[in-house]
Structure 1
Amino acid sequence: MRRTEFQLKGIAQISIRVHNMEAAVQFYRDILGLKLLFQVPNMTFFECNGVQIVLSIAESAQFDHPSSVFYFNVDDIHAAYELLVEKQVQFLDKPHKVVETGHSETWMTFFYDPDQNVHALMCEIPTLLDEAGQPHK
């Protein structure tokens, strides 16, 4: 019997198109703090909490386009924002709440990498609950 279904098991690797490898490596390693795994010609590999991120120079025009938006989780979005601003990272906005549920708030802020790819910092902040289990006003 042939299986016709499959299940995705997670993200193994994400590729980000870059034009200046040296500037991109400096940004992702030294500013964002990703762990450098190894480099080969036209490619650099990082690790981010179990996901491999590869910076690559496009081999053809077909692959030379902006990347998807990556949402990097942080514990304290305001502190991370301030630290990255000090490191001259260009942000599109300031940290802002995008959704609130009964138990948490989701905050985001978007920034550019050296190739003008847009990425985001994201933080889930638990909502303080009163004695009745309702969010504080």
Structure 2
Amino acid sequence: MSLIQQIKQIYIPVKELDRAVQFYRETLEVPFLFQAGKLAFFDCGGVRLMLSPPENEDFATSSPILYLSVESIDDAYVQLKNVGVSFIDQPHLVAKMDTTETWMSFFRDSEHNLLALLCEKTT
């Protein structure tokens, strides 16, 4: 049995918590769980996403890339672009294995962190 079984929580450092909460809650429509002081929590399919200003310099420069699964990458790309999300590329094929194609498109959140839309299409 593996020591690590699943991702339970992901931390993303933010500069302005209210702005970040609004982006994840309203623009990306990630289900909001709660806010406690300078911490805000969202539910990403059972994985908690925690947004908070960094506690110290060690956390100030870290930024994980979240790969957000979508049913239709083209629809999600258009919808988010229409509400002002800043994409750095268009949806593109990154891998093809047997009958599955993996498509991605990268964008920046309100805090300039890099995120990606990810879609696995059956061919």
Q: Is the counterpart of residue 74 in structure 1 residue 80 in structure 2? A: no
Report deviation, 1:66. 3.8
Question: What's the counterpart of residue 17 of structure 1?
Answer: 13
> What aligned pairs does 1:35-74 form with structure 2 within 5 A after superposition?
35-74=31-70
One-letter code aligned to 1:50: G
Question: What's the counterpart of residue 32 of structure 1?
Answer: 28
Work out which of the two has the higher radius of gyration on C-alpha atoms and give 1 or 2: 1
Residues 49-86 of structure 1: CA deviation (Å, up to 9, x unaligned): 00000001112112101411110000000000000000
* Aligned-CA RMSD value: 1.2
CA distance in 1, matches of 2:113, 2:43: 19
Secondary structure of 2:87's counterpart equals coil
Question: What's the counterpart of residue 83 of structure 2?
Answer: 87
Select the structure that is richer in strand.
Answer: 2
Secondary structure of 1:62's counterpart equals helix
Structure 1 runs (4+) greater than 2 angstroms displaced? none
Q: How high is the TM-score relative to the length of structure 2?
A: 0.95
CA distance in 1, matches of 2:9, 2:96: 30
Percentage of pairs with the same residue: 41
Q: Is the counterpart of residue 114 in structure 1 residue 94 in structure 2? A: no
Residues 61-118 of structure 1: CA deviation (Å, up to 9, x unaligned): 1210141111000000000000000010000000001111220111000000111110
The structure, 1 or 2, with the larger RCO (C-alpha pairs under 8 Å, 6+ apart) is: 2
5+ residue gaps, structure 1? 128-137
Q: How high is the TM-score relative to the length of structure 1?
A: 0.86
How many residues matched? 123
5+ residue gaps, structure 2? none
Question: What's the counterpart of residue 101 of structure 2?
Answer: 105
One-letter code aligned to 2:79: L
CA distance in 2, matches of 1:10, 1:115: 26
Report deviation, 1:6. 5.7
